[in-house]
């Protein structure tokens, strides 16, 4: 009954699927099956019902899941506290500039309250790197907005914001209840500045390369929209500027505020940050800011 085994168990209990759990644990499925079987032998009871229909927790498994989660959490806290005592408790958090919102504020407050001895370093980035330096190892964890290249990263969604078309108030679309991407097909679009992450650009351009006036930053779209017929996209609840309108885009996937870290990074400060982030974004009304 080692912590490693319990982490395996929790992964399977979360996924209710041995293959996916193994992938999440960066291992292959057979050793995972074996480890769970050994755990069941040790406990003296089955933890999962393996039916052809799928995997389900037994009552004993449910008890173990509760206890194991609590134990693993405490193990994380142990590591944080010891790291704090050793003076090595440092976490570098990357923020995408415009993600600053009440959720982020609550997150920062809650995290500093939870781990007062932890030194939190902030690194703010622009659209050239929505991962805020995760791939380059410049930060431990990133609070940012998708989409971006997620290879090698683990990503947890904190919030999904619906997206709307940003047009001039006198645009024919401005009065509509909703629009589709096809309605914008023949328009000129705002582009992103040189160096903007291609995945990000592709998303905010409706999935296709576009032509249009280049704007220096997302926030300046409002000036650029003075060109008649030019469109962009923005968050649906974006605060309105004079002369502009936002119309819901019903066939765009929502924009996701996420927390991300390098896959396989077991730093408990990160895990604690992620848990805190999820909690901070669960309560409180969302506000925002993006293109």
Partner DNA sequence: GCCGCCGATACCGTACGGGTATCGTCGCAC
Partner DNA sequence: GTGCGACGATACCCGTACGGTATCGGCGGC
186 binds, among a second copy, DNA, none (CB under 5 to 8 A by kind): none
Question: What whole-number distance in Å separates Cα of residue 19 and Cα of residue 36?
Answer: 13
Cross-strand bridge partners of residue 125: 96
| 121 lines the binding site for DNA (CB under 7 A) | no
β pairing state of 141-145 and 255-262:
antiparallel
Considering beta carbons, is residue 45 or 122 the nearer one to a second copy?
Answer: 45
Residue pair 13/60 in contact (Cβ under 8 Å)? The answer is: no
Q: What is the 3-state secondary structure (H, E, C) of 191-221?
A: ECCCCCCHHHHHHHCCCCCCCCCECCCHHHH
Q: Under rule CB under 7 A, which residues in 8-37 are in contact with DNA?
A: 17-19, 26-31, 33-37
Both tokens assigned to 169 = 């108030």
Longest dimension (CA), the chain: 72
| Minimum distance, C-beta of residue 152 to DNA, in the bound complex (Å) | 16
| Minimum distance, C-beta of residue 88 to DNA, in the bound complex (Å) | 20
Stretch that binds a second copy, among 13-21, 80-88, 91-99, 121-129 (CB under 8 A): 80-88
Name every residue whose Cβ is closer than 8 Å to that of residue 33 and which is 6 or more positions away in sequence: 18
Q: How far is CA 55 from CA 7, 42, 46, 62, 284, in A?
A: 17, 20, 12, 13, 35
Question: What whole-number distance in Å separates Cα of residue 272 and Cα of residue 18?
Answer: 25
Considering beta carbons, is residue 1 or 16 the nearer one to a second copy?
Answer: 1
| Minimum distance, C-beta of residue 79 to DNA, in the bound complex (Å) | 17
Candidates 70, 169, 214, 250; binder of a second copy (CB under 8 A) is: 70
Candidates 52, 87, 116, 264; binder of DNA (CB under 7 A) is: 52
Question: What whole-number distance in Å separates Cα of residue 145 and Cα of residue 234?
Answer: 13
Considering beta carbons, is residue 45 or 250 the nearer one to DNA?
Answer: 45
Considering beta carbons, is residue 80 or 167 the nearer one to a second copy?
Answer: 80
Candidates 20, 24, 77, 188; binder of a second copy (CB under 8 A) is: 77
Both tokens assigned to 276 = 């805190």
228 binds, among a second copy, DNA, none (CB under 5 to 8 A by kind): none
| 71 lines the binding site for a second copy (CB under 8 A) | yes
Considering beta carbons, is residue 89 or 104 the nearer one to a second copy?
Answer: 89
Q: Is residue 34 classed exposed, middle or buried when 0-12, 13-18 and 19+ CB atoms within 10 A define those classes?
A: exposed
Query: How many residues form the binding site for DNA (CB under 7 A)?
Result: 21
> Site residues (CB under 7 A) for DNA?
4, 17-19, 26-31, 33-38, 50, 52-55
> Site residues (CB under 8 A) for a second copy?
1-4, 43-45, 59-60, 63-64, 67-68, 70-71, 74-75, 77-79, 81-83, 85-88
């Amino acid at each position: 009954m080692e912590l490693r085994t319990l982490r395996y168990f929790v992964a399977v209990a979360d996924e209710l699927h041995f293959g996916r759990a193994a992938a999440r644990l960066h291992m292959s499925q057979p050793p995972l099956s074996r480890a769970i079987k050994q755990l069941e032998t040790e406990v003296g009871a089955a933890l999962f019902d393996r039916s052809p229909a799928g995997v389900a927790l037994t009552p004993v498994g449910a008890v173990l899941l509760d206890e194991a989660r609590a134990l693993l959490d405490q193990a994380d806290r142990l590591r944080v506290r010891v790291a704090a005592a050793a003076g090595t408790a440092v976490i570098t958090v990357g923020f995408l500039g415009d993600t600053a919102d009440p959720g982020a504020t609550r997150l920062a407050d809650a995290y500093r309250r939870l781990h007062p001895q932890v030194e939190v370093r902030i690194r703010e980035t622009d659209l050239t790197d929505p991962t805020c330096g995760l791939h380059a190892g410049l930060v431990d964890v990133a609070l940012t907005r998708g989409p971006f290249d997620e290879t090698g990263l683990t990503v947890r969604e904190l919030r999904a914001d619906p997206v709307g078309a940003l047009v001039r108030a006198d645009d024919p679309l401005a009065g509509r209840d909703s629009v589709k991407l096809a309605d914008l097909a023949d328009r000129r679009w705002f582009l992103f500045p040189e160096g903007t992450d291609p995945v990000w650009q592709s998303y905010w351009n409706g999935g296709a390369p576009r032509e249009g006036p280049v704007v220096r930053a997302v926030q300046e779209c409002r000036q650029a929209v003075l060109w008649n017929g030019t469109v962009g996209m923005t968050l649906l609840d974006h605060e309105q500027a004079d002369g502009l309108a936002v119309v819901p885009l019903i066939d765009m996937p929502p924009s996701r505020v996420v927390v991300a870290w390098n896959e396989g990074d077991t730093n408990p400060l990160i895990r604690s940050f992620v848990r805190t982030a999820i909690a901070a974004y669960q309560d409180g009304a969302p506000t925002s800011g993006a293109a």
